[in-house]
Every structure is written in structure tokens, then in C-alpha cells.
């Protein structure tokens, strides 16, 4: 018997994930098979190894998610699978697996934009987002600000010209010998240090665009020339990132008044960013919408919830893996 449940599948980068989600965003199961142990050796994601690892674990991960949610494949309403953006080999594994399962189970398969998944992560379990909203998406692959009026009306305000903020965290973690992935380790070390080093804040004073590669290089040059406590370097780097992100959010909320500020993507797991955004929203009287901590980084529950939007609104982009996709696309 058909149940009102969607299976989400995510394999755009280095996590293989499957989840079962109902139309209200309740998560019946969410399984994430991490590849950290494979990539930590290289200090970053090694694309060929990522796609091979996805191919090995994707089916068992889906089986686990279905079993935990107590639903059989043919009884699903639909399958939502990340079609991009991301690593092409990794995306192909998820898309082809979903296409095969959909055929076998006679269930529709919808290709989902990973960025729209992150966007919807703020409504998992509980509806939080009130429109219009300003969205700050901060992940390993992307950093941008957008204004959201509805799912079909998204205006990109500005994105990064070079590195994403997550990439800067990962590169600084490598410079500090903290391993991969770097975000949580940098945050933790930063809490024990003093933000005493005046690292640059590129593009701080105007606009909605970002640039993080100069900041990352400044940290590298500083470490080459000085013997300092690494905790102070981490604290100073995090402080520069926070000032940049929060200044741009304030500017966006002032220029484009909104009911909510939505902060999503892996870096939304940062306690410093969560606290800074909460203070900013308090001061402006805006609602802060954050995803549950465990679904800030890549997961399939957010893909499942986004798939409900696609189903409800009749969006059906081509079911093909696509390395580049903008937030304004489906």
C-alpha cells in the first residue's frame, strides 16, 4: 500500500546518505555513511575514491534507511536524489541507483538540486522559515547570500568570487595540522585562543559578494613568519570569517527587509556562527532559522524534504548528474 513517504538519496561529495521523510519534514530515518576515513589521508576529498566508495555502500545505506522507517521500496510516494551540483562521478552513482530502483519499484524519481536541499534543511522536523527570507548558504562548495520570496522566486544577492568559507576552514585546518574535515577542529581550537591577529577581511565594506582566498593565504603567510600559539591563529581566523559573514547578513537584511534569516550548509554547524547569527537577529528583530545541528552538513533528509516541494509544485528537471547548478535552478 502506498505510503506518504519520500526516500531521499544524497551522494554529491563524500557522504553516502539515505533518508525517509514525510510531507511535513518529519524524518523517519536518516543514514549517513561517512568517507572521512578514506579522504583524511589526503587532506581533502579524492574524487575517484569518493565515487568508488559511494558505489560500494549506496545500496546497503538505502536498505538501512527503508528498514528503519519500516517502508518497502514499492510503497514509496517518490525517490528524490541529488542531481547536482557536486563531484560528477559521485553524483552519477546516486542518480543511476535511484533511476534503477525507481524502475524496479515503479516509483517516480526526481532529480534534486543539492543547494535547494540545504535551503530546506531549515524546515526539517519543524517549520521555521517565514517568507520573505534572507538566506546565507555556507558549505564546502558554496558561499552566497540570496533573497527568498517563494520557492520559485529566489534572487541571488552575491556569492564568493573564489573559495567558499568551508574550503577556507578546511585549508586553514590543514595549515594548522588539524586534519580533514577541518571545520569542527578549527572551531574547537579557536575557542581556546584569543583573536589577537588582525587578519584581512576581504570585501567587508561593501556589497554582498565574498572572497576567502586572500584570508586563507594571509593565515599561511603569518604561520610561515611567526611562531605563535595555533589557538590564537584559529581564533583570529574564525573571528575574521564571522565578521565577514555577519556584516554581509546585516547589510542584506537592511537592504532587503525580511522576516527570517536562514543560515544553512556545513558551516552552519559552527557554534560561533550560530551564536553570532542569533545576536544579529535579536538586534534586528528577525527570526533566525537554522537546521537541526546534525542536518547542517550533508544528509539525505534535506533532499527528501526538497523532493516534496518538487512533487507538490510539479518541478521535474532532467534526471541527469550535473556538476554545476545555481540555487535559482531546479
CB-based contact 126:94 (threshold 8 Å): no
Q: Specify the pairing of strand 260-264 against strand 133-138.
A: parallel
CB of 225 to ligand KG4, least distance (A): 26
18-26, 62-70, 127-135, 262-270 -> range binding ligand KG4 (CB under 6 A): 262-270
* DSSP-derived secondary structure letter, 210: B
CB of 117 to ligand KG4, least distance (A): 9
CB of 283 to Zn ion, least distance (A): 29
Nearer to ligand KG4, 76 or 263 (CB): 263
Residue 233: name the closest of 246, 245, 243, 220 by CA: 220
CA distance 299 to 16: 8
Residue given cell 529566489 in the structure block:
154
55-63, 131-139, 180-188, 206-214 -> range binding Zn ion (CB under 5 A): 131-139
CB-based contact 165:269 (threshold 8 Å): no
Q: Which residues contact residue 52 at a Cβ distance below 8 angstroms, ignoring those fewer than 6 apart?
A: none
Chosen residue from 258, 269, 280, 281 binding ligand KG4 by CB under 6 A = 269
Nearer to Zn ion, 176 or 267 (CB): 267
167 binds Zn ion (CB under 5 A): no
Nearer to Zn ion, 35 or 139 (CB): 139
CB of 243 to ligand KG4, least distance (A): 15
Q: Please, which contacts does 148-153 make with residues 24 or more away whose CB atoms are closer than 8 Å?
A: 148/119, 148/262, 151/116, 151/309, 151/313, 152/313
Q: What are phi and psi of 197, to 5 degrees?
A: -100, 125
CB of 321 to Zn ion, least distance (A): 15
Mark 263-292 with x for binding to Zn ion (rule: CB under 5 A) and - for no binding.
Answer: ------------------------------
Chosen residue from 265, 276, 291, 304 binding ligand KG4 by CB under 6 A = 265
Chosen residue from 181, 202, 276, 304 binding ligand KG4 by CB under 6 A = 181
CB of 308 to Zn ion, least distance (A): 19
169 binds ligand KG4 (CB under 6 A): yes
Chosen residue from 30, 113, 121, 139 binding Zn ion by CB under 5 A = 139
Q: Specify the pairing of strand 260-264 against strand 287-289.
A: parallel
In order of 10, 58, 94, 103, 210, the CA distances from 55 in angstroms are 12, 6, 8, 19, 35
Question: Which residues sit at the interface with ligand KG4, rule CB under 6 A?
Answer: 13, 139-141, 166, 169-170, 181-184, 187, 265-267, 269-270, 297-298
Amino acid at each position: 500500500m502506498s505510503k506518504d513517504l519520500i526516500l531521499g538519496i544524497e551522494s554529491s561529495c563524500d557522504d553516502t546518505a539515505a533518508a525517509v521523510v514525510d510531507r511535513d519534514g518529519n524524518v523517519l530515518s536518516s543514514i549517513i555513511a561517512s568517507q572521512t576515513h578514506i579522504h583524511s589521508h589526503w587532506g581533502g576529498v579524492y574524487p575517484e575514491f569518493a565515487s568508488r566508495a559511494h558505489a560500494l555502500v549506496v545500496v546497503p545505506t538505502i536498505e538501512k534507511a527503508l528498514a528503519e522507517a519500516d517502508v518497502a521500496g514499492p510503497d514509496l510516494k517518490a525517490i528524490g536524489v541529488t542531481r547536482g551540483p557536486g563531484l560528477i562521478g559521485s553524483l552519477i552513482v546516486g542518480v543511476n541507483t535511484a533511476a534503477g530502483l525507481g524502475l524496479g519499484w515503479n516509483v517516480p524519481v526526481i532529480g534534486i538540486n543539492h543547494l535547494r536541499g540545504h535551503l530546506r534543511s531549515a524546515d526539517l522536523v519543524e517549520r521555521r522559515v517565514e517568507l520573505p527570507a534572507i538566506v546565507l548558504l555556507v558549505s564546502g562548495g558554496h558561499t552566497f547570500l540570496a533573497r527568498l520570496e517563494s520557492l520559485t522566486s529566489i534572487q541571488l544577492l552575491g556569492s564568493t568570487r573564489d573559495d567558499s568559507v568551508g574550503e577556507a576552514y578546511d585549508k586553514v585546518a590543514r595549515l594548522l595540522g588539524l586534519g580533514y574535515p577541518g571545520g569542527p577542529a578549527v572551531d574547537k581550537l579557536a575557542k581556546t585562543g584569543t583573536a589577537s591577529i588582525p587578519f584581512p577581511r576581504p570585501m567587508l565594506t561593501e556589497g554582498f559578494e565574498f572572497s576567502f582566498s586572500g584570508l586563507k593565504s594571509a593565515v599561511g603567510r603569518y604561520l610561515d613568519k611567526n611562531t605563535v600559539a595555533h589557538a590564537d591563529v584559529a581564533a583570529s581566523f574564525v573571528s575574521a570569517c564571522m565578521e565577514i559573514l555577519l556584516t554581509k547578513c546585516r547589510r542584506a537584511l537592511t537592504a532587503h527587509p525580511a522576516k527570517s534569516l536562514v543560515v544553512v550548509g556545513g558551516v552552519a554547524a559552527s557554534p560561533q556562527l550560530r551564536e553570532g547569527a542569533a545576536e544579529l537577529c535579536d538586534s534586528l528583530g528577525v527570526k533566525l532559522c537554522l537546521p537541526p545541528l546534525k542536518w547542517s552538513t550533508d544528509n539525505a533528509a534535506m533532499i527528501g524534504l526538497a523532493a516534496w516541494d518538487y512533487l507538490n509544485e510539479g518541478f521535474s528537471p532532467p534526471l541527469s548528474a550535473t556538476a554545476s547548478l545555481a540555487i535559482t535552478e531546479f
